[in-house]
């Protein structure tokens, strides 16, 4: 009397089926495709030698600790380094404000578990990061999207959303994934004030903050919130800040962090205890060994130079070849160029044709919780070499010319 | 108008507060305490040199892959190794039956997300693994416990529980945590048949299966279920099997695996994608490099010899010093000796007195979902050296003599 497995799965799981986008992206795994679909760092900037030395050193000198179980909140020297670094950019962050996660995706999952009751509303930018939607769908979240432009979330439209009583506001202020937009200082300040007035927390997701290729660095929402409240030795404001070593060192070590008020950190640690006990001691200690003497400050210059060159080659090729009806956001940093087709065109249809021409991207509708954005696409520039970028964007440019001509 | 954080947390989180047991265990962190409270492997058996060589080799030869994002289901050669190893013990396991998790705790969490709707019943042994209860409490599980003795779950009592319609049966058949008991072959077979008859899946949690110090190895419930159904190239039975590298290599790498029907694996991969994208590529590739040429088969001999000596010293010292009113389970393997005090004694009270004598264990009530088991305790023998075991058990023995005398 076997019950089929499908009948046993929890209600939330029935909403989690392999998405159309995931099926489409399988098409990009052919080896001869130039894929701008992923969000992968360039392997050329991985600090492989530093990892070799660090592994050897920590295994030789503290092998028993490196390979043993560790504390749920993370390796203390690594947490201390993160707290100190945050202090450099104007926030007083105590050790007790910092917790380590296995990548930022895990922090997104924990935020779902921590805050979302089925049916709760979350305010998101439109478009927003696909992985956040996937994480929170599993908890039955509903979304209120606030439109954005190349200066990020249009904060003037936020108040309406806040009146609904959402659990939190999710924002990627720097070189947003997917749109590449950066929230202006004025909008950041207004966001902090509005969130405070309505008593709604802000989740600031900042994987790319240090990957700026032009323009001035802007203070984090965490820093602005901290200043707004005045000084305190321990951060006790309204922002939960996420960042990661994935783009500064390497994603394969799955290492990220959360900065948040102590009450939130304590609860997240309980969630993490039940979810995976702790993040790999090995990876935390190795990453700390690599990073501890200011390595990242130096290394990020190489990453910036590498990605800036790739972005610039992509922008040049787009300007040269994309038809005038197609627009894109000149991202000041990060890893993506967001591209907008004429309203009459469909990016998923374009995707299928592009794959035939051996070039790929992500149709933008994946980044809208309601499936809108049919005429948008996300193009990654961090992973492919400049030569491949020129070749791939040339293929895409000719395809776009053909398609736009057909709709004239 | 700040809302306190506590008011924002999801309903499920209100049940997740720092437990009494967690607070108690903080007392064991004093450096001069001999703690038998943890469940830590002996650092003396960590293959540190093999890890050094493997790290160096994989970073030198495949650094770009090691540090890059990887597939959610895990590193294919590692999954293949696991599938092949399972084949050695009589189950046909295909690559598509295997998925990697960040420790078995993560698999427990995913099972909660995958199967448990608030209020659903799970059948557990009494006592059972605390981490499983913590994982599933977050999903609002309720429990039906089936009593167990030194031969594991009393399967004759299971049928009653199955009539309630539970989501699955959770069982640790080998050297159970905490009780040290091992489910007999007859009970395993009956469990497979009953679970099949009632259409209730079995979750088999097997972290210690290879750590046997006496007696004959017994087939896994997975293997028995597979035989019960007859041969198939891909496993498609009723068991979800969990095991881990934590006790065979090292827990600090957070590396475990699930063997299950393809339908379950596919859904778990979706859950994992939303939960942490994937387990560290670095750790998977390094572990595969260490393990690939049969290293674990050799290495486990050292682990067995080390832990057997520690267990034997602990058993001898108990026999010598514990008063006759105190009983314990002679575990044939694993890491724990389960100890039962006279009914009139309370293990939490004993714990407080033991900490004063600088020795610690876990009060057994932590392992009962209903908080019963007031007169039981779990004593770990894998972590401390034989000398420390003799000393710590001597302290505990004298304390027990004193306490038992006082109740006579």
Radius of gyration of chain A (CA): 22
Same domain, yes or no: A62 and A41: no
Sign of CA dihedral A352, A353, A359, A363: negative
- Residue to mutate among A16, A73, A198, A254, with most B CBs inside 10 A, is A254
B44-48 long-range CB contacts below 8 Å, 24 or more apart?
Answer: B44/B306, B45/B299, B45/B302, B45/B303, B45/B306, B46/A63, B46/A64, B46/A67, B46/A68, B46/B249, B46/B250, B47/B249, B47/B250, B47/B290, B47/B295, B47/B299, B48/A59, B48/A63, B48/A64, B48/A67
Q: What is the pLDDT along chain B (408 residues), one digit of tens a residue?
A: 457 898 999 988 877 766 666 777 777 778 899 999 999 999 999 999 999 999 999 999 999 999 999 999 999 999 999 999 998 877 889 999 999 999 999 999 999 999 999 999 999 999 999 999 999 999 999 999 999 999 999 999 999 999 999 999 999 999 999 999 999 999 999 999 999 999 999 999 999 999 999 999 999 999 999 999 987 889 999 999 999 999 999 999 999 999 999 999 999 999 999 999 999 999 999 999 999 999 999 999 999 999 999 999 999 999 999 999 999 999 999 999 999 999 999 999 999 999 999 999 999 999 999 989 999 999 999 999 999 999 999 999 999 999 999 887
C-alpha pair distances (Å), B162 with each of A317, B172, B225, B226: 65, 18, 18, 21
- Is B274–A16 a contact, with Cβ atoms under 8 angstroms apart? yes
Q: How far apart are CA B260 and CA B263, in angstroms?
A: 8
- A105 to A91, A153, B102, B199, B275: CA distances (angstroms): 24, 21, 14, 35, 6
Query: How many angstroms away from the CA of A130 is the closest CA of chain B?
Result: 10
Tell whether A355 and A217 lie within a shared domain.
no
What is each CA distance from B386 to A151, B19, B42, B311, B312, in whole angstroms?
A: 65, 31, 11, 9, 9
- Quote the Cα angle for B151-B156-B159, to 5°: 130
Are both A316 and A396 inside the same structural domain? yes
The CATH number given to whatever domain includes residue A242 is 3.40.640.10
Structural domain range at position B250? 49-295
Sign of the torsion angle spanned by Cα atoms A393, A395, A399, A401? positive
- State whether A101 and A177 are in the same domain: yes
Residues of A in contact with B140 (CB under 8 A): none
Based on the fold, state whether residues B30 and B103 are members of the same structural domain: no
Residues B322, B359, single domain; the answer is yes
Predicted local confidence at residue B17, as pLDDT: 67
Shared domain check, A140 and A246: yes
Are the Cβ atoms of B282 and A277 closer than 8 angstroms? no
ipTM of predicted complex: 0.96
pLDDT band at A18 (very low <50, low <70, confident <90, very high): low
* Res B18: pLDDT: 65
Indicate yes or no: CB of B16 within 8 angstroms of CB of A66: no
Statement: residue A306 has pLDDT above 70: yes
From the list A52, A250, A277, the residue facing B105 with the nearest CB is: A277
Pairwise CB contact (< 8 Å): B48 & A67: yes
Q: Please judge whether B67 and A52 are an interchain contact, meaning their C-beta atoms are less than 8 angstroms apart.
A: no
pLDDT average, residue stretch A147-160: 96
Compute the distance between CA of residue A257 and CA of residue A280 in angstroms, rounded to an integer: 13
What's the CATH number where B394 sits?
3.90.1150.10
Do B313 and B389 sit in the same domain of this protein?
Answer: yes
Report pLDDT for B2. Answer: 58
Collect all residues of chain A within an 8 Å Cβ-Cβ radius of residue B273: 134
Contact between chains at A63 and B43 (C-beta distance less than 8 A): yes
- A258 & A395 share domain: no
**What residues have CB less than 8 Å from A63, skipping those under 6 apart?**
B43, B46, B48, B51
* pLDDT at site B28: 77
Same domain, B273 and B371: no
Domains identified in chain A, total number:
2
Tell me if B279 sits within 8 A of B101, measured CB to CB: yes
- Looking at B295, B320, B350, the residue that finishes a domain is B295
Q: Which residue of B has its CA nearest to A255?
A: B280
Asked if residue A347 and residue A285 are part of one domain, the reply reads: no
Contacts of B250 in chain A (CB under 8 A): 67-68, 282
Angle of helix B48-66 versus helix A48-66 axis, rounded to 10: 150
Final residue of a structural domain among B268, B295, B322: B295
A213 and A136 inside one domain? yes
Residue ending a domain, among B260, B295, B330, is B295
Given pLDDT bands bounded at 50, 70 and 90, which one contains residue A197?
very high
User: What are the phi and psi torsion angles at B76 (to 5°)?
Assistant: -55, -50
């Amino acid at each position: 009397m076997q019950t089929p497995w499908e009948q046993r799965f929890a209600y939330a799981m029935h909403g989690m089926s392999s998405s159309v986008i995931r099926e489409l992206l399988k098409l990009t795994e052919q080896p001869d495709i130039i894929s701008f679909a992923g969000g992968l760092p360039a392997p050329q900037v991985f600090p492989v030698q530093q990892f070799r030395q660090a592994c050897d050193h920590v295994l030789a000198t503290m092998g028993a600790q490196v390979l043993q179980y560790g504390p749920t909140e993370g390796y203390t020297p690594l947490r201390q380094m993160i707290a100190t670094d945050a202090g450099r950019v104007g926030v007083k962050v105590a050790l007790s404000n910092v917790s380590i996660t296995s990548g930022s995706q895990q922090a997104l999952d924990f935020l779902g578990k921590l805050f979302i009751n089925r049916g709760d509303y979350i305010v998101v930018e439109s478009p927003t990061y696909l992985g956040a939607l996937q994480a929170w769908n599993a908890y039955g979240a509903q979304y209120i999207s606030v439109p954005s432009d190349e200066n990020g979330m249009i904060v003037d439209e936020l108040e309406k959303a806040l009146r609904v009583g959402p659990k939190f506001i999710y924002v990627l202020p720097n070189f947003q994934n997917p749109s590449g937009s950066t929230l202006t200082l004025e909008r950041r300040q207004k966001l902090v004030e509005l969130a405070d007035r309505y008593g709604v927390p802000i989740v600031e997701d900042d994987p790319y903050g240090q990957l700026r290729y032009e323009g001035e660095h802007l203070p984090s929402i965490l820093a602005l919130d901290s200043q707004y409240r005045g000084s305190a030795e321990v951060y006790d404001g309204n922002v939960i800040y996420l960042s990661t070593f994935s783009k500064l060192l390497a994603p394969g070590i799955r290492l990220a962090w959360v900065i948040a008020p102590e009450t939130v950190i304590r609860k997240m640690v309980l969630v993490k205890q039940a979810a995976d006990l702790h993040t790999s001691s090995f990876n935390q200690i190795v990453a700390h060994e690599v990073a501890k003497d200011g390595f990242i400050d130096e290394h990020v210059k190489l990453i910036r130079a590498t990605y800036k060159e790739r972005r610039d080659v992509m922008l040049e090729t787009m300007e040269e070849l994309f038809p005038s009806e197609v627009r894109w956001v000149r991202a000041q940093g990060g890893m993506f160029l967001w591209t907008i087709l004429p309203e009459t065109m469909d990016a998923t249809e374009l995707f299928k044709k592009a794959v035939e021409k051996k070039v790929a991207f992500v149709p933008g509708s994946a980044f809208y919780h309601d499936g809108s954005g049919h005429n948008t696409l996300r193009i990654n520039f961090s992973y492919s070499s400049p030569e491949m970028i020129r070749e791939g964007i040339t293929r895409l440019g000719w395809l776009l010319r053909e398609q736009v001509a057909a709709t004239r």
